[in-house]
């Protein structure tokens, strides 16, 4: 029955106007049964548009701004962000794809219905903003410039890694071909459209994967100043980058700007409370993520629980395979997987120390690739001095930090938090806290193994100096509390945030006092 329905959709999807007429007959502004919904933005649009019309009259003509969105949830966020910028006098265009899912090739019949629904819901906002459904943009390119064709291939590689939690890519896989086709369409449509649009600044979520990665690459090719943004677990804030992919988390400017910053007692207390919540499997303030499955038990308890024998402990903390915080982060290794396997092989010959491999707890939630599976497949038999801590193990990572003598990390913040404890840490990936003065940062395999050889001979003596520990604490405070910028609407909490911070408030003097600086930074062309 289901296959007959899909076959009918496929046939109807090829016939002109069938999907459009069907959606109109079904009430064109009603959410689709496949969960494609703009109900959050639809609910607030009348009041939001009125607030923009009232506010923008106070401002001179601003910049020509292009905001890109793909999938309905990012479209909603892009629209409310665009309305806020329109209320400050800027000329905003939203270019979007009305996709319901990034990981599934929806029938054209559904996608065309989504186009009608999107246009209907967004029509009231057309009084203050411009909209371009990029599915309808006729590309003037049969072939892309070589640089953009390479970008399509690279972004699709990342899409595959992200979808399957892997670092190996099969370019013949149907999923890869589907994502490549979508990315190719996005590249051609965006190149055509943006060449004709007098854009002074582009605003793009993420900027690394999916159509967002393509939009970022096209803007770079056209030399359009671009802001990318993403969200952490902290409510009412965002991460933001200029002419860089935000998921690379480049904190160079933050570090330089605050070079002479001195932590106050209040700063230290705030950071201690946050770290305590992370350690004890609770949440703190606006941070919504619970970082551990179980509270800390203490050093003695964890040593007895895991049967450690008193030898020095090296803690290797992994990231989730294919996570967006690992994509494109290689330094001297071809992949995180290669680094982990070669490190284990090195320690097989080092029975005088204990290697503890903490598999990221997030692997318990994934459906595809796994570091745990990779290790067991590549090295099925490990000696007793190498310990694998599985994702669902009732083990608190902070207990492991407390007993570690050396830390090995790729990009995880576990490395930063070990340095805050005075533990020497070797960073193998391109993480944001690399080269900040409190970690060891090799650039080649030779350097890496030389470092290991040296540090293993002086684990107690090679602990960080007090000034390095203080530097790590300062960096942690800046990263957790200064790097996120105040912003009213978190993408994953949009419904609640729109109720707490309606656009009329954000455009008022009290609202702008909170959020004006971030809204201005979104428009920066530096």
Residue 68: CATH number of its domain: 3.40.50
144 and 117 in a common domain: yes
Dist. CA 422–CA 406, nearest whole Å: 10
245 and 279 in a common domain: no
Mention every residue, 6+ apart, whose C-beta is less than 8 A from residue 24. 116
When computed from its CA atoms, the radius of gyration of the chain, rounded to whole angstroms, is: 25
293 and 224 in a common domain: no
- Of 103, 82, 96, 104, which Cα lies nearest the Cα of 137? 96
Contact 341, 410 (CB under 8 A): no
Is residue 113 domain-resident? yes
Is residue 20 domain-resident? no
Query: If the chain, 526 residues long, is cut into consecutive pieces of 10 residues, what is the mean pLDDT of each piece?
Result: 54 53 59 78 96 95 96 96 98 96 87 89 96 89 92 97 90 97 96 94 96 98 97 91 95 96 95 84 48 61 80 92 79 94 96 93 68 89 92 86 95 95 96 97 98 94 95 97 96 94 97 97 88
Element (H, E) at 314: strand 313-317
Question: Domain range for residue 228?
Answer: 26-249+484-522
Element (H, E) at 476: helix 466-477
Q: What is the pLDDT of residue 365?
A: 62
Sign of CA dihedral 144, 148, 150, 154: negative
Dist. CA 215–CA 213, nearest whole Å: 5
514 and 403 in a common domain: no
75 and 56 in a common domain: yes
CATH number at 399 reads 3.40.50.2000
Is residue 31 domain-resident? yes
Contact 100, 110 (CB under 8 A): yes
pTM above 0.85, yes or no: yes
Q: What is the pLDDT of residue 18?
A: 58
Element (H, E) at 69: strand 64-70
Q: What is the pLDDT of residue 289?
A: 46
Q: What is the pLDDT of residue 369?
A: 64
Q: What is the pLDDT of residue 288?
A: 45
Is residue 14 domain-resident? no
Dist. CA 418–CA 429, nearest whole Å: 16
244 and 291 in a common domain: no
318 and 184 in a common domain: no
159 and 144 in a common domain: yes
Q: What is the pLDDT of residue 445?
A: 98
Q: What is the pLDDT of residue 76?
A: 97
Any idea which residue has 């265009």 for tokens?
A: 93
Is residue 104 domain-resident? yes
Strand partners, 239: 230
139 and 44 in a common domain: yes
Mention every residue, 6+ apart, whose C-beta is less than 8 A from residue 377. none
Helix 336-348 with 445-455: angle, nearest 10 deg: 40
The two tokens of residue 18 are 């069938």
DSSP 8-state secondary structure symbol assigned to residue 207: S
- Of 150, 164, 307, 119, which Cα lies nearest the Cα of 213? 150
188 and 287 in a common domain: no
Is residue 12 domain-resident? no
Q: How many CB atoms lie within 10 A of CB 307?
A: 9
Contact 438, 407 (CB under 8 A): no
Is residue 17 domain-resident? no
287 and 147 in a common domain: no
- Overall number of domains in the chain: 2
Q: How many CB atoms lie within 10 A of CB 127?
A: 11
165 and 69 in a common domain: yes
Dist. CA 430–CA 478, nearest whole Å: 19
Q: What is the pLDDT of residue 1?
A: 44
């Amino acid at each position: 029955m289901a296959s007959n329905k899909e076959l009918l959709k496929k046939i109807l999807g090829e016939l002109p106007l069938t999907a459009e007429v069907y959606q109109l007959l079904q009430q064109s502004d009603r959410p689709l049964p496949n969960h494609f919904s703009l109900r959050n933005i639809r609910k607030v649009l009348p009041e939001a548009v009125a607030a923009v019309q009232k506010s923008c009259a106070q401002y001179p003509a601003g910049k020509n701004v292009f905001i890109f969105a793909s999938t309905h949830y990012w479209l909603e966020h892009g629209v409310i962000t665009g309305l806020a910028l329109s209320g400050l006098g800027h000329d905003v265009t939203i270019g979007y794809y009305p996709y319901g899912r990034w990981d599934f090739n929806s029938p054209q019949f559904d996608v065309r219905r989504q186009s009608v629904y999107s246009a209907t819901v967004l029509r009231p906002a057309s009084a203050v903003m411009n909209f371009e459904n990029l599915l309808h943009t006729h590309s003037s390119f049969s072939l892309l410039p070589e640089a953009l064709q390479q970008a399509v291939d690279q972004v699709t590689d990342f899409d595959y890694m992200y979808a399957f939690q892997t670092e190996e890519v099969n370019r013949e896989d149907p999923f890869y071909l589907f994502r490549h086709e979508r990315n190719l369409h996005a590249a051609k449509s965006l190149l055509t459209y943006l060449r004709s649009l007098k854009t002074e600044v582009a605003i793009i979520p993420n900027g690394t994967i999916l159509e967002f990665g393509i939009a970022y690459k096209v803007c770079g090719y056209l030399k359009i100043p671009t802001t990318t943004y993403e969200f952490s677990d902290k409510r009412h804030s965002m991460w933001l980058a200029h002419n860089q992919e935000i998921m690379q988390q480049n904190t160079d400017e933050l570090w330089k700007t605050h070079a002479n910053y001195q932590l106050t007692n209040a700063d230290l207390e705030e950071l201690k409370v946050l770290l305590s919540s992370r350690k004890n499997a609770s949440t703190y303030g606006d941070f919504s993520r619970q970082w551990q499955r179980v509270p800390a038990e203490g050093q003695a308890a964890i040593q007895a629980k895991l049967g450690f024998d008193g030898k020095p402990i090296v803690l290797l903390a992994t990231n989730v395979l294919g996570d967006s915080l690992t994509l494109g982060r290689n330094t001297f290794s071809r992949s995180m997987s290669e680094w982990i396997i070669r490190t284990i092989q090195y320690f097989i010959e080092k029975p005088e120390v204990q290697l503890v491999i903490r598999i990221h707890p997030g692997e318990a939630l994934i459906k595809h690739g796994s570091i745990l599976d990779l290790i067991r497949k590549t090295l099925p038999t490990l000696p007793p001095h190498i310990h694998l801590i599985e994702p669902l193990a009732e083990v608190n990572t902070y207990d492991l930090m407390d007993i570690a003598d050396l830390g090995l990390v790729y990009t995880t913040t576990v490395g930063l938090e070990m340095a805050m404890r005075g533990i020497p840490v070797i960073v193998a990936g391109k993480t944001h806290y690399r080269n900040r003065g409190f970690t060891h940062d090799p650039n080649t395999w030779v350097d890496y193994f030389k470092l290991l050889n040296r540090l293993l001979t002086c684990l107690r003596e090679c602990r960080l100096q007090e000034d390095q520990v203080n530097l790590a604490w300062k960096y942690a405070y800046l990263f957790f509390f200064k790097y996120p910028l105040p912003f009213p609407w978190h993408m994953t909490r949009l419904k609640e945030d729109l109720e707490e911070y309606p656009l009329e408030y954000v455009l008022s003097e009290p609202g702008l006092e909170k959020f004006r600086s971030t809204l201005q930074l979104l428009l920066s062309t530096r």
